[in-house]
Amino acid sequence: MPARSTAQLAWLCIVIVSMAIHSVLLQKPPKRRTVNGNAQSKMTGCCDEMKELKLQVANLSRMLQELSKKQEGDWVNVVMQVMELEGSTKQMESRLIDAESKYSEMNNQIDIMQLQAAQTVTQTSAVDAVYDCSSLHQRNYRISGVYKLPPDEFLGSPDLEVFCDMETDGGGWTIIQRRKVGLTSFNRDWKQYRDGFGNIRGDFWLGNENIYRLSRRPTVLRVELEDWEGNIRYAQYKQFTLSNEINSYRLFVGNYTGNTGRDSLRYHNNTAFSTKDKDNDKCVDDCAQFRKGGYWYNCCTDSNLNGVYYRKGEHTKNMDGITWYGWHGSTYSLKRVEMKIRPEDFKP
């Protein structure tokens, strides 16, 4: 019995301890809930602060964007005003240049008229005569531009408007051909090449009859070339003569100097002038038709200074352009060409 009572007492103690532990365990979850509640409260507060910060950042971004747009608009207005001012300045400069050019040209024309009036009274010998731009240069006309030469009584030619180059290599040059704008076709007939065509201030051919008139004395020819890259070359001939119309304005050139790579006019020496309606070349083909210009065609060309004016981008694709084979070959059409003459005995 005592042993049994002892066992029962032990079991009772175990039950009591178990119940105590169970009650303790039952009390722990509320503590966890309390801790979780505090964390959740802290998390909720943190989220609110983040939302507030995000809202402030968004407001700042919006303000920066508005400020940036305003500054951009202000800069655009400033740039537009500057561009308008620059445009106005360029227009004023252009008008000023035009006015100066017209003023200079008017002065030149007045001087020429005075010269011609004085010449009719004071001319007593051939030394006093005005034949070309070199004669004007000797009379101290040193501004390049348009002048009017008096009639040639020997040939019965009327007065002649010419463009004088008073600057290049001492000046005194009478320009007989110019290509630089490209608006004037040089695919003309015999009569047009004989009499001349174009704009004396732009692209023109002075006329074979006029060139013959100006080259009766020993004459120097200068050919100036410019490519589309801005490079400039020249060919100069100490001997240049053009025969009359009966001899088809036959060309004679010699004594080349220059930097054009090769003398590309020599091939055309002692050849008659040809146009699309008058074939005087030395070839079976009609070179004037084939090269689309009037020129001293041989069979056919080593140069073609009166060919088609091709603009940049199209200037390397054809053989009928403004060519000088010794410099850029047969398919490169040049940007600018000037042919000019003056007497061999000219002294600057």
Quick one: pLDDT band at residue 94, thresholds 50, 70, 90?
low
**DSSP for residue 306:** T
Quick one: pLDDT band at residue 93, thresholds 50, 70, 90?
low
Q: How far is CA 237 from CA 170, 218, 342, 344, in A?
A: 16, 11, 11, 10
What local confidence, expressed as pLDDT, does residue 110 receive? 64
What is the spatial distance between Cα 39 and Cα 137, in angstroms, rounded to a whole number? 105
What local confidence, expressed as pLDDT, does residue 155 receive? 67
Closest CA to 137 of 111, 158, 160, 159: 111
pLDDT higher than 60, residue 171? yes
pLDDT higher than 60, residue 182? yes
Q: Give residue-wise pLDDT tens across range 57-81.
A: 777 777 777 777 777 777 777 777 7
Q: How far is CA 204 from CA 101, 188, 208, 216, in A?
A: 20, 12, 12, 21
CB 211 within 8 A of CB 253: no
Beta bridge partners of 233: 225
What local confidence, expressed as pLDDT, does residue 60 receive? 75
Q: What is the mean pLDDT of the chain?
A: 83
**Cβ-based neighbours of 214, under 8 Å, separated by 6 or more:** 131, 132, 174, 176, 341
Closest CA to 152 of 161, 140, 160, 163: 160
CB 173 within 8 A of CB 340: yes
- Kind of pairing between the strands at 303-304 and 323-324: antiparallel
CB 306 within 8 A of CB 297: no
Structure-derived torsion over alpha carbons of residues 301, 307, 313, 316, reported in degrees to the nearest 10: 0
pLDDT higher than 70, residue 152? yes
Joined tokens for residue 338: 């000037």
**DSSP for residue 202:** S
DSSP labels, 52-103: HHHHHHHHHHHHHHHHHHHHHHHHHHHHHHHHHHHHHHHHHHHHHHHHHHHH
* 213 alpha-carbon distance from chain centroid: 36
What the chain holds in terms of domains, given with CATH numbers, is: 130-343 (3.90.215.10)
Q: What are phi and psi of 195, to 5 degrees?
A: -90, -25
Percentage of residues in the chain having pLDDT higher than 70: 76
Residue 179 belongs to what H/E stretch?
A: strand 173-179
Dihedral of alpha carbons 142, 147, 153, 154, sign: positive
Q: Give residue-wise pLDDT tens across range 228-283.
A: 999 999 999 999 999 999 999 999 999 999 999 999 999 999 999 999 999 999 99
Structure-derived torsion over alpha carbons of residues 163, 211, 115, 142, reported in degrees to the nearest 10: 40
Beta bridge partners of 146: 163
25-39, 64-78, 101-115, 196-210: least confident range: 25-39
What is the spatial distance between Cα 285 and Cα 268, in angstroms, rounded to a whole number? 16
